[in-house]
Amino acid sequence: MEMKLDERGATLGEWLVRSARDRPDAPLVIHEGGVDRTVTLAEVFDQARRLAAGLGAVGLVPGDVFAVQMPTRLSTVIAHAAAGYLGLTLLPIIHIYEGRELDFILGQSGAKALLTPAAWRTIDFAARRADLAETYPDIIQIVDGDGEPGTLCLADLLDNEPLASPPPVEGDAPAMLIYTSGTTADPKGVQHSHKSLIAEIGTDKAKRGSLVTLSPWPPGHVAGVLGYLRFWAMGQPSVLMEQWDAAEAARLIEQHKVEGTSGTPFHLTTLLDAAEAAGRDISSLHDYMAGATMVPPGLIQRCESIGLAAYRCYGLSEHPTVSAGSPEDTLEKRLGTDGQLYPGVEVLIVDDEDRPLPLGEAGEILTRGPDRFVGYRDAALDDDAFTSDGWLRTGDIGRLDTEGYLSIVDRKKDIIIRGGENIASREVEDMLSLMPGVREAAVVGAPDERLGERICAFIVADPGADLSIGRIASHFAQQGLAKQKTPERIHIVDELPRNAAGKVLKLQLRAQLDSMGQ
């Protein structure tokens, strides 16, 4: 019988113990190093307790920050579970971070230990470790593989008797510190407690908890951490990948009968293309939650044509899941909204003066709920992040309808102001996505002396597609959109720039316009 939240305990260590007891045979498949590895939750539980003992032996105690800068591997899952078991504050770091970004994160976080791979792809982790040894000589460096003098080998830390039980930890204690990707400023350290993470994965809102799922997310991204959590803290059958490869994803879905997955439009589009090209049977996949960036309606319609129910969701590192759709939602709701608010989550839509707006009107989204973060590592940032009465300012623009469905219109900074008229880039991108020949589109404001900004679209197009300005204008006119919302500049590109989580980097697109003198 499924346990209720209050029966499982208030810490991640308690959740791991109970999941390993109740679902010891829950499988985890990891595609790493070109091969599939399958383990059970019982095996991960044993290894996590051994690593917890090893970390304790080198001086880590509950509350210490344990940084993990790893690709998706079995050892990474074990490290995350060991951190939860020992009551450490897990600090997942995107594996491509180095130099200034890595130095800032390690310095502000006060990390006591750092786990890295001996090597991975073309990244020179040995050089990174050497630099960090000079800058942060007190950080315990642990290497998954053969390291250098002065580092510890992960295998040695695993060569311990399992820690008998998790140490006592308060549910409000920090369990994860994750840094949002910075663009124009230093990243922000987002702190989650044991309770907020448990609320995210363990209440009624874990609608997908019984599915066999595949996670495409890197472990330095909050969605990647949650994918791990759902396996080791809940016993959800899971499939993970060392890095995104659409062809391998299609094979894994076919072979392991994956029922649900999530990702950005990039993940979904490349998956569908790869499955079609290789003739893969991905019919077991019936649940696709798309998020992390704007999701084109045309992509939802493409899924519908093959019997895959795709829907949108909305969240951020500070509040991982604010709303989400469902396969049971109507196509209209899945096309036009980001789903209903999850149980316990509250949203307030306000104007620029923080005055609540009526249902249906667009304004800034404020949130609160049990799964929301507990504050930034730099507490000085909290003053701007929260209202005086405790609502989180998301910086996103949206509207709520009478049925409780949330629709994201745009980010404040992504609104294009053309001749004094505010234009939501999301609306323009959605309309472009419905045009034949458009695979992906991202819209930004191009500086214009006369109008302030004009709409510029960067488009990834099918070969030979006719996407002239005239044809696009005709399409927009046929759809009944105001003329000022029609793109006035078009750039056909091979791909859109993205960060490690798959989000389109509009800052880079704007920089491209600047370099072209446009």
425: Cβ–Cβ under 8 A, 6 or more apart, which residues?
410, 414, 415, 416, 442, 443, 444, 445, 455
Residue labelled with tokens 């109970």:
18
CA distances from 45 to 42, 83, 200, 229, 246 (A): 5, 12, 21, 13, 30
User: What is the chain's percent helix, strand, coil content, to nearest 5?
Assistant: 35, 25, 40
pLDDT at 421 > cutoff 80: no
Which among 229, 87, 71 is positioned nearest to 168, based on CA atoms?
Answer: 87
> pTM for this structure?
0.84
Residue labelled with tokens 């500070």:
318
pLDDT digits (tens, 9 = 90+) for 360-412: 999 999 999 999 999 999 999 999 999 999 999 998 899 999 999 999 987 76
Mean pLDDT computed over 50-69: 98
Q: CA 12 to CA 363: how far, in whole Å?
A: 36
pLDDT digits (tens, 9 = 90+) for 81-121: 999 999 999 999 988 788 888 999 999 999 999 999 999 98
pLDDT-derived band at 203 (thresholds 50, 70, 90) equals low
pLDDT at 1 (0 to 100): 32
Rounded to 5 degrees, what angle do the CA atoms 138, 219, 135 make?
Answer: 20
pLDDT at 477 (0 to 100): 87
- Order the strands of the 489-492 sheet from edge to edge: 438-448, 452-461, 489-492
pLDDT at 4 > cutoff 60: no
Dihedral sign of CA atoms 34, 40, 46, 51 in order: positive
pLDDT at 26 > cutoff 60: yes
Q: Is 107 exposed, middle or buried (0-12, 13-18, 19+ CB in 10 A)?
A: exposed
Report the relative pairing of strands 406-411 and 189-193 from DSSP bridges: unpaired
pLDDT at 5 > cutoff 50: no
Domain covering 419-515 assigned CATH 3.40.50.620 in the classification? no
pLDDT digits (tens, 9 = 90+) for 258-291: 999 998 888 898 999 999 999 999 999 999 998 7
pLDDT digits (tens, 9 = 90+) for 212-271: 999 999 999 999 999 999 999 999 999 999 999 999 999 999 999 999 999 888 889 899
pLDDT at 53 > cutoff 70: yes
Q: How many CB atoms are located within 10 Å of the residue 149 CB?
A: 5
Domain ranges of the chain: 13-21+39-204, 419-515
Question: Which tokens in the block code for residue 480?
Answer: 């009944």
Question: Which tokens in the block code for residue 50?
Answer: 């051994």
Which among 314, 316, 294, 335 is positioned nearest to 443, based on CA atoms?
Answer: 294
Dihedral sign of CA atoms 473, 478, 482, 485 in order: negative
- Alpha helices (H) in 369-456, listed in sequence order: 382-385, 425-433
Residue labelled with tokens 């004009």:
454
The HSE-up count of residue 375 (CA atoms within 13 Å, CB side) is 12
pLDDT at 208 (0 to 100): 56
DSSP 261-304: EEE-HHHHHHHHHHHHHHT---TT--EEEE-SS---HHHHHHHH
230 within 8 A of 44, measured Cβ to Cβ: no
Residue labelled with tokens 């594996």:
95
Which among 229, 246, 253 is positioned nearest to 321, based on CA atoms?
Answer: 229
Mean pLDDT computed over 138-142: 97
DSSP state of 161: P
Mean pLDDT computed over 120-130: 93
pLDDT at 181 > cutoff 80: no
pLDDT at 413 (0 to 100): 66
Report the relative pairing of strands 27-32 and 35-40 from DSSP bridges: antiparallel
Please state which CATH class domain 13-21+39-204 belongs to.
alpha beta
Residue 419 Ramachandran class (φ > 0 left, ψ -120 to 50 alpha, else beta): left
Which among 41, 34, 49, 95 is positioned nearest to 70, based on CA atoms?
Answer: 95
CA distances from 402 to 322, 341, 354, 358, 362 (A): 17, 12, 21, 10, 13
pLDDT-derived band at 343 (thresholds 50, 70, 90) equals confident
Report the relative pairing of strands 89-92 and 65-68 from DSSP bridges: parallel
474: Cβ–Cβ under 8 A, 6 or more apart, which residues?
none
Q: What percent of the chain has pLDDT over 90?
A: 73
pLDDT at 85 (0 to 100): 98
pLDDT at 518 (0 to 100): 58
Question: Which tokens in the block code for residue 105?
Answer: 């994160």
401: Cβ–Cβ under 8 A, 6 or more apart, which residues?
337, 359, 360, 407
Give the chain's mean pLDDT: 90
pLDDT at 502 (0 to 100): 82
Q: CA 497 to CA 54: how far, in whole Å?
A: 41
pLDDT at 42 > cutoff 60: yes
Q: CA 228 to CA 234: how far, in whole Å?
A: 10
